[in-house]
Amino acid sequence: MPEQVATIEKVFLLQNCELFSAAGAEELLTLAHVTREEEFHAGDTVFSAGESSSAFYFVVRGKVHLESRSKHIDEEAIEHQTFGVLSVLTGGPRKYKAVCEEDCLLLRVDADDFYDFLSDEMDVARGILQFFAGQIPEKAVI
């Protein structure tokens, strides 16, 4: 399958993602080089709950339903959003199932490539930690 999204377009797309708000264009160019495009049709499963977390995804086009009845998760990932990042960072199994609600074009970032990227880009890593820390309720005791 030929690439549909040029590397420079990937940089612009990633700039619109809140998770990467601490990253500059140069850092995002590095990340864009390790992404891989994957196309899915409506109804296709991207991954299932319990699977190993070998990659996370960025939605270029389409909508992905994220669901786990046991974990009370019922959300959507839409254009310019990521999903699966936290399970990649924790190294644990997937907590939910991801199913495309419509035809989708996703950018896949493999866990090993992401860790290599973060080890070279500490400011970006710090920004991602701050992003996730901001998601934790203030009353939570960690």
The pLDDT score that the predictor gives to residue 142 is 60
> Please, are residues 77 and 18 in contact by the beta-carbon 8 Å criterion?
no
pLDDT for 75 equals 94
Mention the CATH class of domain 7-133. Answer: mainly beta
| Strand arrangement of the beta sheet that strand 73-77 belongs to | 45-47, 97-100, 64-68, 73-77
pLDDT of residue 36: 96
pLDDT at 9: 96
The whole-number pLDDT of residue 136 equals 80
Separation of alpha carbons 102 and 27, rounded Å: 31
Distance CA(77)–CA(101), nearest Å, equals 10
Sheet architecture: strand order including 104-110 = 36-40, 104-110, 55-61, 82-83
- The three-state secondary structure class of 17 is coil
Residue spans per domain, the chain: 7-133
Query: How confident is the prediction along the chain (142 residues), in pLDDT tens digits per residue?
Result: 556 899 999 999 999 999 998 899 999 999 999 999 999 999 999 999 999 999 999 999 999 999 998 878 899 999 999 999 999 999 999 999 999 999 999 999 999 999 999 999 999 999 999 998 888 876 665 6
At 90 the pLDDT is 92
Neighbours of 102 (CB within 10 A): 13
User: Which residues lie across from 27 on neighbouring strands?
Assistant: none
